[in-house]
Amino acid sequence: MLQVRDGAGETLGVLFDRYQTPLFNFYSKLTGDRTLSEDLVQEVFLRILKYRQSYSPGTPFRAWVYQIARNARIDHFRKFPPQTTLKPEMLPSVLPTDSAQQQEIELLQRALQQLPEEKREILLLSRFQELKYEEIASLLGCELNTVKTRIHRALQELRKNFHQLTRPNMPKQAEAAAAENFPPRGDGHEV
């Protein structure tokens, strides 16, 4: 990034190769829109060139680029407020061969899409983009403990959403037992 900052624009290709896929995955999981995600990734790299002088040596590049990515997404939705509900296109890069595992992944993706945007974003940054909590705190402009609390709450809500999506498939007796954290009972002849 220091070379790009100093005017060697051709080295932007190296950064593009390294960050294009993670940024695309971040956007696609956040927006559920493949085309928009591709457009936003392009916008990030245009902004890297435009704002290259604002990059400070010693600043972690990954945190800086995700700040640009967040701002590009926020600016886009200010100009073009979403008109429809999100349609997830969040297939993992390696598809499981087991149909039960595939169904579980699809349910988890739906549960993730049901989270409010700020909770979905913090989970994506920490779990999918693997940013350190300190980097996320710097990115969001908050304390480290606040990040930990937000991630914990987002995970709790994700777990709740996931269980709600799996419950329609449960028989009533099993659902009641799961709510009480007891195993389902037999055929009514308990001892």
Show the domains of the chain with their CATH numbers: 1-82 (1.10.1740.10), 98-183 (1.10.10.10)
| 102-159 confidence digits (pLDDT tens) | 788 888 888 888 899 889 989 989 888 888 999 898 888 889 999 999 999 999 999 9
Tell me the whole-structure pTM to 2 decimals. 0.63
If one counts every other C-beta atom within 10 angstroms of the C-beta of residue 45, the result is: 19
- The token pair that represents 175 in the structure block: 């659902």
| 165-186 confidence digits (pLDDT tens) | 887 655 555 544 554 444 444 4
Of the given ranges (36-45, 76-85, 158-167), which has the lowest mean pLDDT? 76-85
- Please report the pLDDT score of residue 170 as a whole number: 54
* Sign of the alpha-carbon dihedral angle for 29, 30, 35, 37: negative
113 contact partners, CB below 8 Å, separation of at least 6 = 32, 86, 88, 90, 120
Mean pLDDT of the chain: 79
pLDDT at position 90 over 60: no
Rounded (10°) CA dihedral 31, 37, 39, 45: 110
Q: What is the average per-residue pLDDT within 45-65?
A: 88
Please tell me whether residue 124 adopts helix, strand or coil conformation: helix
Instruction: Of 85, 64, 190, give the one whose Cα is nearest residue 138.
Output: 64
Percentages (nearest 5) of helix, strand, coil residues in the chain: 70, 0, 30
Q: What is the average per-residue pLDDT within 34-42?
A: 94
**Greatest distance between any 2 Cα atoms in the chain:** 79
CA 126/CA 64 separation, integer angstroms: 15
- Please report the pLDDT score of residue 65 as a whole number: 92
Q: Which DSSP category does 185 fall into?
A: P
Q: Which position has the token pair 């300190």?
A: 134
pLDDT top residue among 170 and 86? 170
Of the given ranges (7-11, 30-34, 44-48, 53-57), which has the lowest mean pLDDT? 7-11
